[in-house]
Structure 1
Amino acid sequence: MFIAELRRLQWERIAGLMDTERMAAYAPSRDPRAIRYETQRLERLMTDVAEAERSGVAAVEIRRHRVYRIDARPTAGSCSAGIPAPTVHLMAASPDEAAERAWAMHGRDGGLYQRGGHHIASVKQVLPEPGEMF
């Protein structure tokens, strides 16, 4: 739901811009926010390339973020009967990174996974298109 809400807000912003600028079709080159997003993306790319060159990596791997759903299940012997298993959605470059980030955020003492004795059961990409959300 959070992703759908973000997309709805973005399209409302774009529709307002199109009305204000009297665009027949959306042109990212006339959208200050789209220009800023692209500039930030290119800066991240240049930073990744520079870091790869410094570390001696022959080929730079450009990983784009996708949205993943991380499902958790109760561990054996835990007292989580009847409690729904937590599901987390987040953006990451790979399923492994998504699982690591989910555990880092929610696996600590008192975190979402620790409260009921859960472990990560699955990590699935939920938005099929690659790339950044906007």
Structure 2
Amino acid sequence: MSIGYALKRATSALRSAMDERLRQLDMTVPQYSSLELLAHRPGLSNAELARGVFVTRQATHQLLAGLTREGLVEIVGAGREQRLHVTQQGLQRLQRASTAVAEVEQTMIESLSDRDRQSMLRGLSACADALEHAEK
């Protein structure tokens, strides 16, 4: 089996498990990812959020419409000066979602030793860095 196939298989399994757990919290993976990113980097633009959660700008508009309608994200400013911030209610929902995602991740890596976990993290980071630098 190729490394790329194994990585895709793991990614697909992780996404499915996250979808299932987050659905129980009435949240999607893109919503969770958006809240997580905005909690760590408040004030992002729509375009920055789209890049950060790996969706198109068009998908971000729909995503933000839902998040703002639910009171989880607020948009400050107008036009090109719009900046996104997680609300207090959004932070509370994010905390519950983060716990669920951490449980999924723990299940995924529980059969690995601490050494193997660290090695996997270093390896995956090195792979991403190599491909990101090759694109430039």
Q: Same fold (TM over 0.5)?
A: no
More helix by share: 2
Task: Choose 1 or 2 for highest CA Rg.
Answer: 1
- TM-score, with normalisation over the residues of structure 2? 0.29
Q: Larger % of strand: which? A: 1
